[in-house]
Structure 1
């Protein structure tokens, strides 16, 4: 039987429409983190196709559109699809809409049939957290129990939920300039974790640090970090953005998700463009490590940094998790012979 098997021996089908609420209900981190890890391995092993992310810039609206297609094959399954996503930072204030929204078309590789069209806003949020969890699992100390988060927006929730899947997190130090965001975060997780509101420096001294802000001037310095803090640099997603001072990425064990994307719009884009760092400062891509390459680094002996820009293969892996979770509840599209 085909790895896809969704449309085997079928002639007609109805595409499933999946709401943001259904994505939220059916995209469990326990399933998503290993799926995203498998996607990174497929990418490294050459069984994935992921054309470069394409951009449509809309400076008059302070935003942009991005298209992200991908196909991937693992030992057990294959999947394909495309995400159409926007980033409009003014949305919350102007329109009461999220900064990032998206739609994902999940297609059967064998026939090309669109199996599902799903809201990709929550999909994007959760798969981003899952990527940080994969990196944390390979790069952080095994007994990491404290997590610092700089930026208490929606991505902070995904960071905590995903990283708590791979490390025994007990203490969370969250930092943000917005008191309302901090209050909502504490209310959400205060009964499950020891949640503390702190400065950027206090958050950065934790075993694991996730930065999820849109800043263009670095807010984390080398002196803020612990001797072996693992940093997930998640916020930079466009040219000019930078959360960590250049010395951090220059001196740390630096892992990226994709060379072209990170040098263009990831955490390292600014020091790369100025020549402050070059290829010799990049120690590995995450796919290499997931696929079994030697770390040449002992977690616990130095600061490690994961520069994440978000890959289309992560979206495909996440969409597959949602689709098959829906299938398990009988909500899959109706087929007729």
Structure 2
């Protein structure tokens, strides 16, 4: 038996494209909706400055299994010069439990999170959507733009974050990369008003988007809330919209809906569907000129399916380091 394949970030970055990750994540959501997945909700360890999440998953039909260990420490960049989010993914052989691969999960997390918004936008946004509002201008905002560019014909994007130089640099780089106009604006309202699609990628614990700023027919990808007490959208906006989630267990605990759920102003019956149910046709997607919201918490199945694709490509191309942990 060969050893465990070790894969670092520089080795996996060129193995798959965002278009392929969007497809993999759509497959993952579909498998979850079809009850083909064994996946307990992510578990948390809370530290003084951040947290650690453990995310296991087994996809029965494809015999893919693994676990992601991922941290979120918001003060890392300025205090330690390392990323806010870092992750490791271990892929397991379900038959024997042997560790087939251990790979960087930081890049995978960025990509599959962006891809989740891409899938939701494909099913929930108006087909003629062409203007995009982005709140936040960090690594995840870059991944969001990359994924949304795969599923919509973007003509113009507006970006806002609190640091002027950061949003200006984001706009300049993105305009050059994608060939459409990306404008840095001076407020959240300027970014989201009259946008066809809005994406939020902040760690905010108080709402940054007000209901009156959002037009009928808008689709919102709420990506930032990923722990208890985080919230980016005004509760009134949630109550006036069609809400689609990835998982009730996770979203009610730590997603965009967690605060109004804990306050008992939003209940499970108020949630329209899981995104996988929309994909398989069990529940409707967009109807008429309603406001749709996708509450993304990130599912282990997204990581395992994406990592499985990377592992296969790496084996085919003889990339990575074979390592025997048992020696």
Normalising TM by the smaller chain, what interval? over 0.9
2:71 equivalent to 1:94 = no
1:71 corresponds to which of 58, 79, 93: 58
Q: CA deviation at 1:161?
A: 0.6
Number of residues paired by the alignment? 319
Give the aligned partner of residue 5 of structure 1.
none
Q: Which secondary structure does the structure 2 equivalent of 1:17 belong to?
A: strand
Q: Which secondary structure does the structure 1 equivalent of 2:265 belong to?
A: coil
Instruction: Say what the alpha-carbon RMSD is for the aligned residues.
Output: 1.6
2:65 equivalent to 1:80 = yes
* C-alpha distance in structure 1 between counterparts of 2:245 and 2:2, whole Å: 40
2:108 equivalent to 1:120 = no
Residue segments in structure 1 that go unaligned for 5+ positions in a row: 1-11
1:259 corresponds to which of 235, 248, 252: 248
2:204 corresponds to which of 215, 221, 232: 215
Give the aligned partner of residue 194 of structure 1.
181
Assess if the C-alpha contact under 8 Å between 2:245 and 2:275 holds in 1: yes
Assess if the C-alpha contact under 8 Å between 2:5 and 2:100 holds in 1: yes
Greater CA drift, 163-172 or 326-335: 326-335
Give the aligned partner of residue 43 of structure 1.
32
1:301 corresponds to which of 286, 289, 305: 289
Give the aligned partner of residue 160 of structure 2.
175
Q: CA deviation at 1:196?
A: 0.7
Give the aligned partner of residue 147 of structure 1.
132
Assess if the C-alpha contact under 8 Å between 2:7 and 2:320 holds in 1: no
Q: Which secondary structure does the structure 2 equivalent of 1:82 belong to?
A: strand
Greater CA drift, 176-185 or 35-44: 176-185
Assess if the C-alpha contact under 8 Å between 2:123 and 2:286 holds in 1: no
Task: For 1:220-239, list aligned pairs within 5 A.
Answer: 220-239=209-228
1:329 corresponds to which of 308, 314, 317: 317
2:231 equivalent to 1:242 = yes
* C-alpha distance in structure 1 between counterparts of 2:155 and 2:65, whole Å: 37
* C-alpha distance in structure 1 between counterparts of 2:207 and 2:319, whole Å: 46
2:302 corresponds to which of 296, 310, 314: 314
Q: CA deviation at 1:170?
A: 2.2
Q: Which secondary structure does the structure 2 equivalent of 1:218 belong to?
A: coil
Assess if the C-alpha contact under 8 Å between 2:245 and 2:294 holds in 1: yes
Q: CA deviation at 1:334?
A: 6.3
Greater CA drift, 255-264 or 174-183: 174-183
Listed one character per residue, the Cα deviations across residues 181-209 of structure 1 (whole Å, up to 9, x for unaligned) are 21331232112221111231232231111
- How does the TM-score come out when normalised to structure 2? 0.93
Give the aligned partner of residue 160 of structure 1.
145
- How does the TM-score come out when normalised to structure 1? 0.90
Q: CA deviation at 1:326?
A: 1.8
Q: CA deviation at 1:320?
A: 1.3
Q: Which secondary structure does the structure 2 equivalent of 1:13 belong to?
A: coil
